[in-house]
Structures are given as structure tokens and as C-alpha cells.
Amino acid sequence: MNVLITGITGFAGSHLAEFLLSKGYEVHGIKRWRSRTENIEGFKDKIQVHECDIKDYQSVKKVIDKVKPGKIFHLAAQSFVPTSWNAPTETITTNVLGELNIFEAVREAGITPWIQIACSSEEYGLVHESETPMKETNPLRPLSPYAVSKIAQDFLGYQYTQSYKLNVVRTRTFNHEGPRRGEVFVTSNFAKQIAEIEKSKKPPVIYVGNLEARRDYTDVRDIVRGYWLATEKCIAGEVYNICSGRDWKIKDMLNYLLSLSKVKVEIKQDPARMRPSDVELLLGDNTKFVKQTGWKPEIKFEKTLEDTLNYWRERV
Ligand code: GDD
């Protein structure tokens, strides 16, 4: 079966491509002409990559008509929360219009693939401790343009299933990390800074933002297996949290990374890393997804952090 991954050159997309190859699928992906391809270098001969911009309907339609995928994993997005305050229009356009283009191209092609859409725990936004662990029924109180874009993607998935019988599965994924994670995201950023300090490439100072926030972390390799299971076992139109059900304070995550290294560092808050409104607490309830698919995370987060640090040690 042909499968199509949008965002194949990205972090989760590249891990998903490797997972789907191991399952014997014909893996296709799309990338913009200027996308960096280092994440797919190791297996690029085994996949087919098409040039496409999800904001351009004609370009999306051409790929859908050609590949006729049996499954689509829609991961392409403007995914960095802080950028969404600096570039809200770009964030909303890429994330919302990009998804609409895929849905419309699928309708026009007259095919009925399973479509997994990468929604986000950021949609829950402002959460009170008493409301955790967060279920799919929790209120959505978005705190960034990014979160609003993901709510729109999420609800479009619902609406297109209801209106046109598209087989959309909405996965609200909590934070996922591991090797290849973009360097702007906190685990990867701290690991890179430590690796640079180890090699004396920068003074022994780690710059940080809000260390009090808490995140529910899962390894990316567990998450992509979850995405595949979502298209195998979930119900069209439904929404599922994918998360570990365990939260880490960002400060504790940093301390764990530091415990893997011999460097002695000073920790300095960088005002530019603070957000206009941060989501302070994300702790999910994965019961619905686990019940439906049998999925459970297999990689401990300590191992994820170790792998991320080693990834940067090989690169800086
Ligand atoms: N990026 C970053 N850099 N974040 C920092 C830093 C820093 O130096 N210091 C503290 N933080 C805090 C942020 O304020 C936030 O509370 C937390 O660390 C995690 O930040 P990110 O790793 O940037 O991820 P995120 O939680 O904003 O968003 C990620 O997870 C979402 C799912 O919950 C992204 O992958 C989103 O695309 C995804 O939807």
C-alpha cells in the first residue's frame, strides 16, 4: 500500500517513515523545495519524495492524484509555539489551509484513505491542576496562535468526517522528543548547549526560559508507532490523546541532562526565551487511545534524553 507523509523531512515525519518502511509500506513524502533533508539521508533511496507546498492546492492535488495513498499522515506544520506569536498569519495559513488542501484534494480524487492529523496537547492551553490528567473532554483554552491553529485543524478533521465521510483520526499528541528534534525545542536545545560546552565551543552557561513548566513526555519512536496504530484501529472522526501520563518539570529535565555530563555550568534565564503566555502544565490521560489500540510507551524518557544528548555530541 502507498502511504503519504507530509513533513517527512521533519522530526516525527522521518521517524515515521523509517517505522512504515519496516512494516513493508511504499513510503511517499512531500517536501518544500528548500527543506533540509538530513533527517532522511540514511534511507532516502527507499522512499519517494515529491516536491510540494501544502499551502498550494494545485501542488497538493498533483501529489494526491499521483500517489493515491491508502493512508495519509499529516505532520507538516509550523510547529514551534513561540514563532506563532511572531508569525501568526503564517502559522494559521500553513496549519489550517494546508490541512484543508489535503482534505479537498482527497475528496476530489474520490479516494478514502485513513488520514491521521497531528493535533496537539497545546489545544488544552490553560489547565488547572484539578483538571489533570487531561482527558479528550477537557475544555480547550488556547494560549497561542499555534494552539488556535491546532484547534482549527482538529475540528476540521471532525467536520470533514461528518460532512463527507472522510476517515480522519485526530491525535492530540503531547510532547515527544528524541534524536533529530529541532534545536529550538527545549530538550534538544539544552542537550545541544551541553554538548557545545563539553567541546568548549561555548562558555559554560546554559540559557533557559521558563523552568517551572511541566510537560508530559514520550519518545518520538513510541509516538510514530501510535500514529500508525491510529490508522489501523481508531474510529473515524474521534479524537485521542497520545501521551505517557507522566509529567516532568522542565527544571528536572535539565538536571537529568546535566547528570549525564561532567560539565559544570551556570544556568541563566534569557528573557527572549519567555513566552507571552506559557502553558504551565500538560499531563494527559491516554486511557481512550490505549483501550482502542493496545498502544503503550516502551522507551523510558531517561533513555530519550540520553539518545538526544548523544545525537548532539556527534553533531556539534
Ligand atoms: N523552546 C524552549 N527553549 N522552551 C523552553 C526553554 C528554552 O530555552 N526553557 C524553558 N522552556 C519551556 C517552554 O516555555 C515550555 O513550557 C516547555 O519548555 C516546552 O517547550 P518546547 O520544547 O518549545 O515545546 P512546547 O511544549 O512549546 O510545544 C511542543 O509540544 C507540543 C505538544 O504539547 C511542540 O512540539 C509543539 O509542536 C507540540 O504541539
Q: What does the alpha-carbon distance between residue 220 and residue 222 come to, in Å, rounded to a whole number?
A: 5
CA distances from 217 to 27, 91, 281, 288 (A): 27, 24, 12, 18
What is the per-residue DSSP string for 148-188? Answer: HHHHHHHHHHHHHHHHH--EEEEEEE--EE-TT--TTSHHH
Could you tell me the residue ranges of all domains in the chain? 2-176+218-242, 182-215+246-282+299-315
Q: How far is the C-alpha of 316 from the C-alpha of 313, rounded, in Å? A: 6
Give the number of other CB atoms < 10 A from CB of residue 313.
16
User: Residue 236 has what pLDDT?
Assistant: 98
| pLDDT given at position 238 | 98
Beta-bridge mates of residue 73 = 5, 116
Residue 84 Cα, ligand 1 centroid: separation in angstroms?
A: 12
* Residue 299: HSE in the Cβ half-sphere, 13 Å Cα cutoff: 21
Mutate to test the pocket of ligand 1, among 86, 153, 175, 274 (most ligand atoms within 8 A of CB): 175
For each of the chain's 316 residues, which pLDDT tens digit applies? 999 999 999 999 999 999 999 999 999 999 999 899 999 999 999 999 999 999 999 999 999 999 999 999 999 999 999 999 999 999 999 999 999 999 999 999 999 999 999 999 999 999 999 999 999 999 999 999 999 999 999 999 999 999 999 999 999 999 999 999 999 999 999 999 999 999 999 999 999 999 999 999 999 999 999 999 999 999 999 999 999 999 999 999 999 999 999 999 999 999 999 999 999 999 999 999 999 999 999 999 999 999 999 999 999 9
How far apart are alpha carbons 139 and 134 in whole angstroms?
9
Q: What is the DSSP code string of 32-98? A: -TT---GGGGGGGGGSEEEE--TT-HHHHHHHHHHH--SEEEE--S---TTHHHH-HHHHHIIIIIH
Nearest protein CA to atom 15 of ligand 1, as residue: 213
Atom of ligand 1 nearest to the CA of 207: 8
Site to probe by mutation for ligand 1, drawn from 79, 84, 186 as the one with most ligand atoms within 8 Å of Cβ, is: 186
Q: What are the C-alpha distances in Å from 188 to residues 138, 191, 286, 299?
A: 29, 5, 25, 17
State the pLDDT at residue 187: 98
* CA 142 / ligand 1 centre spacing (Å): 15
Q: What class does CATH assign to 2-176+218-242?
A: alpha beta
**What nine digits make up the cell of 289?**
487511545
pLDDT recorded at residue 55 = 97
| Ligand 1 binding residues, C-beta < 6 A | 79, 81, 120-122, 174-175, 184-186, 189, 208-211, 213, 215, 250, 273, 275, 278, 282
213 CA from centroid of ligand 1 (Å)? 9
Pocket test for ligand 1, best of 75, 78, 79, 81 (most atoms within 8 A of CB): 81
Spacing of C-alpha 189 from chain mean position: 16
C-alpha radius of gyration, the chain, whole number: 19
pLDDT at 248: 98
Cα 138 to ligand 1 centroid, rounded to whole Å: 21
Contact 166, 112 (CB under 8 A): yes
Residue 274 CB contacts under 8 Å (≥ 6 apart), including other chains: 209, 210
At position 101, the amino acid (one-letter code) is: N
Fold classified for 182-215+246-282+299-315: UDP-galactose 4-epimerase; domain 1 (3.90.25)
Nearest atom within ligand 1 for CA of residue 120: 39
pTM greater than the 0.85 cutoff? yes
